[in-house]
């Protein structure tokens, strides 16, 4: 299957980290990234092995039996499935994308969604130094934290609201010298994965 991927870099220095920064600063960043996703469009099309999608469904934080049953359904996302299901499907596709593009082994992604309710962990973490393609893409070595969300329909307000939340969450563990990918799967846009890449 083909996944339409959009990459937008988010430099660490533009993200609020001190008491001198305001909530308004974070809103400006979230709006800017959402606008960049719209403006830049699809960066590349990545071929995803369907077998890897099935494996990712087994290995993610919340096991998704037969992901294609949900992924192909016209009732996917939003009010039809719970947030847990749509987020888990996004997690499946995010991990499959990491495997297809960077060679990240599915068994070497540490899923953390099951403790996300604690408020200080993203959905997963990868040791980037194990993967030369990932080192080249990121421009360095270190932990790569992954946060995923999924939705049926594209909505600027949805992406802005979740970018704001996800930046707060991921920066608790990423800052100052690790990396992060904020990954958003949108079903109605022909399998589009929008990825905000946070670098030190």
Could you read off the pLDDT of 149-200 as tens digits, one per residue?
988 888 899 999 999 999 988 998 999 999 999 999 998 777 899 999 999 9
Q: How far is CA 79 from CA 84, 119, 151, 154, in A?
A: 12, 24, 10, 14
Number of domains in the chain: 1
**Does the pLDDT value for residue 80 go beyond 60?**
no
Residue percentage of the chain with pLDDT more than 90: 56
**Does the pLDDT value for residue 24 go beyond 70?**
yes
Structural domain of 112: 2-199
Q: Which residues sit opposite 125 in a β-bridge?
A: 110, 145
pLDDT at 17: 81
Of 199, 200, 192, the closest CA to residue 43 belongs to 192
pLDDT at 63: 61
Range 104-117 average pLDDT: 81
pLDDT at 154: 85
Query: Both tokens of residue 22?
Result: 């305001």
Q: What is the pLDDT of residues 30-39, one digit of tens each?
A: 999 999 999 9
CA distance linking residue 107 with residue 118, whole number of Å: 24
Return the residue matching tokens 């369907």: 50
Average pLDDT, rounded, for the chain: 86
Of 122, 105, 90, the closest CA to residue 198 belongs to 122
pLDDT at 18: 79
**Does the pLDDT value for residue 67 go beyond 80?**
no
Model pTM? 0.88
């Amino acid at each position: 299957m083909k996944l339409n991927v959009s990459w937008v870099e988010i430099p660490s220095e533009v993200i609020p980290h001190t008491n001198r920064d305001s909530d308004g600063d974070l809103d400006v960043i979230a709006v800017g990234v959402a606008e960049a996703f719209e403006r830049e469009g699809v960066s590349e099309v990545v071929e995803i092995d369907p077998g890897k999608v099935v494996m990712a469904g087994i290995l993610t934080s919340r096991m998704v039996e037969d992901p294609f049953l949900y992924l192909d359904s016209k009732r996917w996302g939003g009010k039809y499935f719970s947030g847990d299901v749509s987020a888990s499907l996004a997690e499946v596709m995010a991990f499959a994308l990491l495997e297809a593009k960077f060679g990240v082994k599915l068994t070497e992604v540490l899923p953390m969604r099951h403790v996300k309710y604690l408020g200080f962990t993203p959905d997963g973490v990868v040791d980037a130094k194990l993967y030369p393609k990932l080192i080249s893409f990121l421009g360095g070595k270190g932990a790569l934290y992954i946060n995923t969300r999924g939705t049926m329909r594209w909505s600027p307000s949805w992406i802005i609201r979740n970018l704001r939340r996800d930046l707060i969450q991921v920066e608790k563990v990423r800052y100052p010298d690790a990396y992060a990918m904020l990954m958003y799967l949108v079903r109605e846009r022909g399998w589009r994965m929008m990825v905000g890449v946070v670098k030190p």
